[in-house]
Amino acid sequence: MNKLTPQLQSEHNLRTHPFYDLWGILRRRSNTVTLSSGQLIFKHHGVEVQLPVDDIRNIKLIRKWLYSDIEMGTASKSYRIKSFNFQHLEILIQKIQCAALDIFQHSAEWRELLEVVRRYQKGEHYFSSWEWRSFSQLILVKQRLQDLAIDADFIAREGDNPIAQLALKLSMDDVSESGRNHFNERVIPQLVSSYQTFFDHIESQPLSSPQRKACVTNEDHTLVVAGAGTGKTSTLIGKAGYLLKAGLAQPENILMLAFGNKAAREMAERIAERLPESGDKLKATTFHAFGNRIVAQSVGVKRSLTRFAEQNDELRQFIEATLEAEISLSDDYKTQLVKYFVCYSTPGRCEYDFNAIEEYHEFLQSCRLITLTGQWVKSVGELRVANYLYLYSVPFAYEANYEVNTATIERRQYKPDFYLPGSKTYIEYLGVDREMRTAPFVDQAAYLEGLAWKRKLHQQHKTRLEELYSYQLSEGTLEENILDLLNRVEEPQHLRDTDTLLDELKSSGSSPWQGFIDLILRFLSLFKEGQFSFSDLLASPQRIDMGRTQAFIALFKPVYDAYEAHLKDQQEMDFSDMISEATTALEEGQFHHRYDYVLVDEFQDLSGGRGKLLKALLATRDNMRLFAVGDDWQAIYRFNGSDLRFFTRFDHQFSPAKMLPLDKSYRFNNRIHELSSTFVTRNPAQLKKEITTHVQVEHAAVQLLDIQEKIPDINIADRNLRKAEAYRQQIRRALARCHNRELRLNSTRRAPVMLIGRYRLENMRDLKELDVKALMVEFPLLDIQYQTAHASKGLEANYVLLLGLEKGSFPSAKENDELIDLLLPEQEPYLFAEERRLFYVAVTRARHYVFMIFDSQNTSAFVEEIAKMGKQLITKSDSLEVGQWSCPDCESGSLTGKVSRYDKKFYVCSHSPACDYMASSCKQCSSPMVMDNGMQRICANPECLEIEIVCRRCGLGTMVKRKNKDGGAFYGCNRFRRDEADCCYENITSEEYERRVDTAKQNAAIMQEMTS
């Protein structure tokens, strides 16, 4: 406790007992105790002691037969004063106790505790842990009182002392963290009741019970876990208003942060409308604007924002000019750059680096598999082979038809990976390791059987086949093996001139050169935003292609240095500087403010840099509170550095913390909620929420529209134009349904309709000619707008049309490069986790209906998943095949119908090209024919179960009816083609064929029973 000298009115003296005095005088041991001005003065072992009353930690009266003693202790020493009158000692102790209380009541500690006790006793204050620390000091007060033998009776006799009275009643549990939680839980209903009128009127509609609870919860760190349409912004406005209404803060004590200018403006407008009494002192701002203000205050001048921050084309030109300068100045840099394009344009990973086909499929989608000549290839290994051949000026053809026709009903025309016309050499790049083992998700027996067929084919036709292997890529010997191969087949070769090669790379707008500049642009932004160092990246524990990382950083660093030098010379800053320099200023105490409360919107979008800034701000003042709202189901900005762990691990990032739900949506109906929540929570990492909806309906609110339903009636020769027209027709079909509903409702104003695509309209091949204005003329009761899925966040409409839901588009195939992933929060293990959340965002923009328009011949995996949901959630055509059949090969993909240029239907796996399974279509119902036991193909449609008997000799062909010279019937393989390398001569009698058919029917019946 604080040592303050009380203003006592008198002093108290006490002498030893007369008998002891008599004896003491003779032995010089008599003693006197004086209590004066807050000090106890006495002799101890002949030495005068001046003991401040406030230093006394315990006191004890020891009664004897003739006279009594008193024992006192401080933190470091004990004293025993002997031989006083018992009654006189009792009076002395009471005087000491009164003096101790008097000292305490005149201390700053007492005044602080008095305010805490009054709040506690009133029962209408929510205690933060920082405030509770003061309250918990009462347990020390209790111990102090007990040490001084002060009890409740003494306090009662001495008059009103609420601190001492309360302290003596408290236990350790009462002042613990759980005690704080219990107290606050009792306070919340009282506060909600006290401010009922305020919460009824702060927004246009009364706040819900969860919103009110969130507003009055005044924890150190509070996260409101919301759902789409549950009123996040209303809760923020309610919180700010409550703080002002309750007198907990003045407008200048509240900082409201948003992520974008638009969100900040909208929040400011709501503040002005709903909290006009705050004047212009309560403002919403962005993280960047706030950071800029901190930097300006700390350095005394506001620096200009570089044009590069908002003019991306100018930054691109600066980067390209810097690269050109480095190339002209350094032959070594030029050589490194060329090597990067040849060797490191994509990560060097093989099929067997992945445990599941989904992982490999996602990896392939993240790669830019475009050769230096602008061709698309199927794997990283093939990309490296093509680039090496180009580097050494070797003409080649990729996947050209083999010189002999091998196409049959069952087998496509053989197309070797590479053909070198100069030496007439075919090259196969094989996805195997040194032991000829394939990836775990590849049918190794079938793969090696196919390889044996290829080798036999080349041997039969005396064509030259050379082989390269995936393990050569992994071991870093691929270039060496390619050169050995070229020498072996005597293929002419010479290394291209690096200047010529670089000129060729830069000549095309879609070349790898432009992709490299795009990569540098993104890397530069994220590198600065995340406040990384180069040593951080090179020490990364992530599983990456370290050789590629080192090569890229060597090329990137001169660009970064030039960019930073430019900003310094121009005395400018970019957006990343606003965050990083502001964080440093806060940590060094260079920014002074009056904020007690920080309110953050869309907290799920918090990035690492912004997170550091926020933590640094909260550390600048005692008892600063954080109140954040967000929805982890709508976290869609990892590609910009957002780190979802700030949200999902909130109580680890900010402690102590409380997470509260907003669990009622006022936007969409129950059917849209059931479908969207089921879809997004397939990812087990998403927080579970029990959300209800204000609007309840019985009917399904999502309809699947397949453009293939319209294709047969469209008389346009060009396939792409025909497909675009089919999209337009299905869009008009959906809009007509929306328009008719508005007619039935007698609407007098246009109903908002949102067309949502994964990309901007001009970047969607089949939709870029869509005329939205013409559609609004055609449907006068509809207000039709197009938005990308990302731009739709925060918006809502009566109806939503999701467009272009195709493989590679949504979920997007444009995954991050591994180099970019180095700068981003850890990748989530669940496949397409962020794309799934983005799809959820798009669906939940709708109030009433959602239409999903897609092409069943190139279907999105998300549509396949939704197509399997029940009729209570979706409406679809009875003939729609999407998602009906799983791939029997990889077992995780689904079979997607396609039509060849000859109008023959066939099926491929949705994971193609990672899984190359293909099936023919049933001649009866057009469903896929699935191989069973290698002996028959059975139609996957349980209502059809058509059977084809497989040739047991080649295992590929189908047994078909033929006639012999005498006119008799027999069955032979349809791969019989006399004198062809892959000709099959298998034939069986009609009786044997019928026996096999009977066996196949029995198997089909078993299959149907197992699946029913």
Alpha-helical runs (H) found in 106-221: 108-122, 129-136, 138-147, 152-158, 162-169, 177-194, 196-201, 209-216
- 177 Cβ neighbours under 8 A, 6+ residues apart: 129, 132, 656
∠493-496-500 over CA atoms, to 5°?
A: 155
Instruction: Please give the span between the terminal C-alpha atoms of the chain, in angstroms, as a whole number.
Output: 79
Instruction: State CA 451 to chain mean position distance.
Output: 42
The kind and range of the H/E element at 270 are helix 261-274
Give the torsion sign (CA, 19, 22, 24, 27): negative
DSSP state letters, 420-454: ETTTTEEEEEE---TT----TTS-HHHHHHHHHHH
CB-based burial of residue 795 (10 Å sphere; 0-12 exposed, 13-18 middle, 19+ buried)? middle
The size of the chain, in residues, is: 1012
Please give the annotated binding residues for ATP, written as ranges. Answer: 226-233
Q: Where does 696-778 show beta strands of DSSP type E?
A: 702-706, 751-757
Q: What is the residue whose two structure tokens read 């090969």?
A: 889
Residue pair 601/573 in contact (Cβ under 8 Å)? The answer is no
How do beta strands 32-36 and 12-15 pair? antiparallel
Residue pair 388/342 in contact (Cβ under 8 Å)? The answer is yes
Beta bridge partners of 626: 221, 598
User: What SS3 string covers 472-493?
Assistant: HHHCCCHHHHHHHHHHHCCCCC
Please give the annotated binding residues, written as ranges. Answer: 226-233
Q: At what angle do helices 287-299 and 575-587 cross, to 10 degrees?
A: 60
Instruction: State CA 603 to chain mean position distance.
Output: 12
Nearest to 52, CA basis, from 62, 39, 71, 63: 39
Residues 582, 298: Cα–Cα separation, whole Å: 8
Residue pair 602/263 in contact (Cβ under 8 Å)? The answer is yes
- 546 Cβ neighbours under 8 A, 6+ residues apart: 538
Residue 542 DSSP SS3 = coil
Q: What's phi and psi for 453, nearest 5 deg?
A: -65, -40
Q: Where does 16-156 show beta strands of DSSP type E?
A: 32-36, 39-44, 47-52, 58-62, 68-73, 78-84
